[in-house]
Chains A and B, each alone.
Chain A
């Protein structure tokens, strides 16, 4: 098994283009579509009322930017108004000491999100200021911050189904979706080597050697697993540490989910390999399968917005659906292990069943 596994790495070192191209494409797509750093949060041109000092204006902007939802940029009133009227910006924020106004050229959907954010932030800050003014305690804000770490009352919201309320994080949606999508290509095309070996006769050389058949399969499958797993994990690490994506602090759980997903895809690939007889057939089948799975499984857009019952039913038999669900469950909803057990178990079960069918199909073809 070790020699077959090592051989695949040796071959990879000689022809790394295919694997590296999918790795690069994942990075490119996520970086382009999700933005690569916090500075790329939606910019909001902001100007202050004449009654405010420069320091007051700067403090408000700092407070608003601290929430990391928008990027407020302090400019002169004329500049902001010119940008809105010329269409360079959809809106601008006019800050007053204890109030604000939005300057709009046209009604825009994004204003509701911004308005909600401003309303929440202004309300919290003004309330704090009011309480601060009524106490002589100099460390009042620090004390409030400490108390809020362990609040006396917590409000948890859930739907009738008991699932999390849908929260959309564009960066994570794209990162998880694209990573799982492109890994399908890497895994399936790396397993193409089995079909190639059968076509070019090297498979027979392996069969005639003292190696057990399970060792040959395991060598190939382990290589495909490792290369697919490594691709996904490296992309996650890259976007977490270089691009600053917030993946949460449960990376071990994400590794486990990625491993289960990779196993399921490797197993699914075995069925495909068992059905085709020529490597050229895979050039047609793999893109159709990968793209189809990604579309239906929610890699390109959140599955939560899909309402078609047929598509939702189909998504239930795709490992990518469960992979994305579990990854988002960890990074966005911070689900417990108990809640993650379902998607993880389904992926493992899917993998075991597909592996059995796949190897059976391959064996039927090769030893008749």
Chain B
């Protein structure tokens, strides 16, 4: 349905995105993962026709949208990272305006407003001024505004940034419903790994302006299938023990997180025995040890050498 070919964007001599190739099939939910500054927003700005690529192409049903963005804009809904609403107006007035600019009027406009308000759970508070809303409610209206014209594809650029867990959960459930029950095609960018794991069928991982991996969640995790993630919780931090642990053969990507240590070892490795001995030498008291299969977060760490929210 939608694909990009070797998308590249250069800002004042600096490459923001290079060689981005991705595709979305109809009804799919695809995640675009990457830390801040990875090039996600630039990529989706080019896909949504807001930004002209320096080179490359974006195709909708096989036809380029660079020169003729009109077709793309008809079927596309964009939920921007910022709250793109008129704060001094009510949610109802905002939605009415965004409906009108898509040519809706009269009864159709009213039906659309109530439909999206129901979707985001704000029917009862539609007449309140947006700037008096909580962060979560603003985010929900932000999504509703992009849904007014019933788009086929929706691009969501970190739609849950800075909101409380309850609102976040509500939004994620809403996106899941839109995708699975209404067949909406979703391109979801986030640096919250758990959101992408929960919502997306396939994932593209971006870093430094390039797509460095892609596939289904299982395919990505299989990159680390021969490895296991170990979480070792201690009674307090032991810097010397951590230093020695890093020197052990087979231990990779060790990271001190609070009182514990996270690291990757080859599957079936016997290194754990040696670790217990080392802990005893440093008089480090082990509270808990968990061995788990890799998460997407581990995959990301493996691919980029840094954590998503670094």
Contact = CB atoms under 8 A, between A and B. Distances in A.
Interface of A: 3-4, 7, 10-11, 14-15, 200-202, 204-211, 367-368
Interface of B: 11, 48-52, 70, 73-74, 76, 78, 80-86, 88-89, 93, 97-98, 100-103, 129, 145-146
Nearest to B76: A208
Nearest to B82: A201
22 contacts: A3-B97, A7-B97, A11-B86, A15-B88, A200-B83, A200-B84, A201-B83, A202-B84, A205-B78, A205-B80, A206-B101, A207-B50, A208-B48, A208-B50, A208-B76, A209-B98, A209-B102, A210-B103, A367-B52, A368-B11, A368-B51, A368-B52
A5 to B, nearest CB: 11
Contacts of A200: 82-85
B74 A210 contact: yes
B227 to A, nearest CB: 41
A201 B161 CA distance: 15
A10 B74 contact: no
Given A11-B88, A367-B52, A368-B52, A3 B100 contact: yes
A367 B84 CA distance: 18
A15 B129 CA distance: 12
B101 A202 contact: no
For chain B, what secondary structure do more than half of its interface residues adopt (helix, strand, loop), or is it mixed? loop
Nearest to B101: A209
Given A3-B101, A14-B88, A201-B81, 9 more contacts: A7-B86, A7-B97, A14-B89, A15-B88, A200-B83, A202-B84, A205-B84, A209-B73, A367-B51
A210 B72 CA distance: 10
B101 A211 contact: yes
A205 B98 contact: yes
Contacts of B80: 201, 204-205
Contacts of B50: 204, 207-208
A15 B81 CA distance: 26
A201 B93 CA distance: 17
A10 B86 CA distance: 10
A210 B11 contact: no
Contacts of B49: 208
B132 to A, nearest CB: 12
Contacts of B88: 11, 14-15
Contacts of A15: 88
B110 to A, nearest CB: 16
Contacts of B81: 201
A4 B103 CA distance: 12
Contacts of B11: 368
Contacts of B103: 210
B73 A202 contact: no
Contacts of B145: 205
A367 B49 CA distance: 10
Contacts of A11: 86, 88-89
A367 B9 CA distance: 12
A21 B89 CA distance: 21
A160 B211 CA distance: 77
Contact of B84 (A3, A10, A204): A204
A4 B86 CA distance: 12
Contacts of B51: 367-368
Contacts of B74: 210
A204 B145 CA distance: 12
A240 B86 CA distance: 38
A321 B235 CA distance: 78
A3 B78 CA distance: 20
Contacts of B52: 367-368
Nearest to B80: A201
B100 A10 contact: no
A210 B93 contact: no
A207 B49 CA distance: 9
A208 B89 contact: no
